[in-house]
Amino acid sequence: MDFDDTPKERAFRQEVGAWLDEALDDIPPQEGLSEAERAHWSRIWQERICAGNWAGLSWPVEYGGRGLDSTAQAIFNEEAELRGAPYPLNGVGMYLAGPTIIVHGTAEQKARHLPGILSGTEYWCQGFSEPGSGSDLASLQTRAVKVDGGWVINGSKIWTSNAHNADKCLLLARTDPDAPKHEGITYFLAPMDRFTVRPLVMLNGDAEFNEMFLDEVFVPDEDVLGGVGNGWRVALTTLAFERGTMALSLWVWARQAVDRLTDLAIERGLADDTAVLDALGALYADAEAVRIGSLRMIGETQAGGAPGPETSALKSLWAGVVQEANRLAVQLDAAGGVLLDGEGAAARMRHYLRSRAHTIEGGTEEVQKSILAERVLNLPRSR
């Protein structure tokens, strides 16, 4: 496989870069900003993406998108990350909700939701994980009971990104408690107006995640996506889009973490330290492996395949690179980061603390290894 851009991709990358350079001109570097400031610029960035017709690059033209392939979306995300752009506040809407609705939604659902996502007027979050079923998603216990005209839902969700800004939720709930756990789940496009949302403050002081409580929340029948009892199949579509969309962003984040470590090693006078050089070399190689693996996955998808277990390998490798790079950066600070000598060391500690979540969010490390064991090595199911 050729890992270089084709002439068409190179031209698109130049187009993207020119637009990004102009659109980002007045947006400050996100490093060092408070959580509220980052959210402010994320919202502004979302508005600019929508206004510039970059919100639905890979969506079909008939649904308001530009009809480009997944590589175009990956290139846009990669170039935006390389320039330090804020993460768009409605990433769940653009990359997960919209594509999933396009695949599984009715004509009415598409007409009702897709224009708002493309225009930036309808924000989404993803209500999958629960306090007792984060790693084993199919064991979720949020319950939906059929009533006249819809469903009454009770339960709770946790680790919900951007729930405090969302209007709608991609919600999984159990509609048949007697069915096998993968078969009794239904996928809802739920309005957020009756959810109770509470922030979860992380180790680094940020509160980008939330817990959500549903107490007698009514969701009409027209907000069932993909049919009653088909929620697991629809959820797998969402997860596939999530992993595919993040592909080239992951390697950029990994490389940025390694680059920060390299700059720190030079600053500390360790450019000739053999142990440090060995560690940097291994991390650079792993970051490059994430890039190449991502390109291979995108190429296979374009050839008609679907994201498979290789996404678990990429996610696991990426998480390891970012965690190790940030751990070593803190270790190079005085007293292993305990004595923080200024703003730079404090920022490194925030990066380190945030990176601890990478082997939990988006599927735990244990889940990723189980997927590889079962689907690649054909080992017996572990759960």
Say which of 79, 130, 242, 324 is annotated catalytic: 242
At 22, give phi and psi (nearest 5°). Answer: -75, -40
9 is catalytic: no
Residue 356, pLDDT score: 87
Question: How far, CA to CA in Å, does 331 sit from each of 276, 321, 325?
Answer: 11, 15, 10
**Is a pLDDT exceeding 80 seen at residue 110?**
yes
pTM of the model: 0.84
Sign of the CA dihedral with 318 first, then 320, 321, and 322 last: positive
Highest mean predicted confidence (pLDDT) among 20-24, 55-59, 118-122, 180-184 = 20-24
Q: Which three-class secondary structure state does DSSP give residue 10? A: helix
Q: Which residues sit opposite 147 in a β-bridge?
A: 150
Q: Please state, in angstroms and rounded to a whole number, the distance separating the CA atoms of residues 141 and 151.
A: 15
Residue 45 to residues 18, 86, 89, 120, 134, Cα–Cα distance (Å): 16, 7, 8, 10, 30
Question: Rounded to an integer, what is the distance from CA 43 to the centroid of its chain?
Answer: 17
- Whether residue 337 is predicted with pLDDT greater than 60 in this model: the reply is no
- Maximum mean pLDDT: which of 168-177, 248-257, 374-383: 168-177
Q: What is the mean pLDDT of residues 84-109?
A: 94
